[in-house]
């Protein structure tokens, strides 16, 4: 068997994974925007209810409602984008896991051909099998991050929607 002819398909490095800091920045911007909008909304709401016949206050009130709706739609779009990215990453990880299993089978076959003893403890072989533990811990961390973001978004939404 010619080892120089073995090629490794490595098309996973070209995938661009969005940075979590980008989402945190966008959520912080939306959070700061909602504070300002709610302060203005309180003021306009009181005035528009006190003077229901004044067209200018009613128009400002409607503008504030539209601004809040737009902000909530942006929040929803960030949440939806995050969910799509998590699903894409999970699909890529499943493909990588499948490829690792195939390569593991090839590795066992090559070891048999070379006559290497299977039950011998070897640092390299231990590293090959440790990827599963690394994958599980990262998967759980990503899942917990997604649930935390979802809970944060829903808490913010519930808090500001009740007022």
User: What tens digit of pLDDT does each residue of 12-26 get?
Assistant: 455 677 788 888 888
Q: Which residue has the higher pLDDT, 4 or 102?
A: 102
Contact between 37 and 66 under an 8 Å Cβ cutoff? The reply is no
- What pLDDT band is residue 103 in, cutting at 50, 70 and 90? very high
Contact between 131 and 104 under an 8 Å Cβ cutoff? The reply is no
Domain residue ranges in the chain:
20-162
DSSP 5: G
C-alpha separations of 23 from 1, 53, 142, 143 in Å: 49, 43, 14, 15
How far does CA 76 lie from the centroid of its chain?
13
Residue 142 token pair: 């990503």
Give just the sign of the alpha carbon dihedral 26, 28, 31, 32: negative
DSSP 12: S
Q: What pLDDT does 19 receive?
A: 80
Q: What pLDDT does 128 receive?
A: 65
DSSP string, 101-127: HHHHHHHHHHHHHHT--TTS--HHHHH
**Does residue 150 come out as left (phi exceeding 0), alpha (psi in the -120 to 50 range) or beta?**
alpha
For residue 82, pLDDT over 60 is answered with yes
């Amino acid at each position: 068997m010619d080892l120089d002819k073995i090629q490794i398909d490595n098309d996973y490095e070209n995938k661009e994974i969005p940075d979590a800091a980008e989402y945190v920045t966008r959520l912080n911007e939306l959070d700061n925007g909602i504070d300002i909008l709610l302060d203005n909304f309180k003021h306009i709401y009181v005035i528009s209810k006190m003077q229901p016949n004044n067209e200018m206050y009613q128009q400002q009130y409607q503008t504030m409602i539209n601004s809040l709706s737009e902000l909530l739609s942006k929040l929803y779009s960030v949440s939806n984008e995050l969910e799509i990215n998590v699903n894409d990453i999970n699909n890529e990880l499943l493909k990588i896991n499948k490829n690792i299993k195939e390569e593991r089978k090839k590795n066992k076959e090559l070891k048999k051909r070379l006559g290497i003893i299977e039950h011998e403890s070897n640092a390299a072989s231990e590293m090959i099998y440790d990827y599963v533990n690394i994958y599980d811990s990262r998967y759980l961390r990503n899942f917990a991050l997604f649930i935390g973001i979802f809970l944060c978004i829903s808490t913010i939404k519930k808090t500001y929607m009740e007022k």
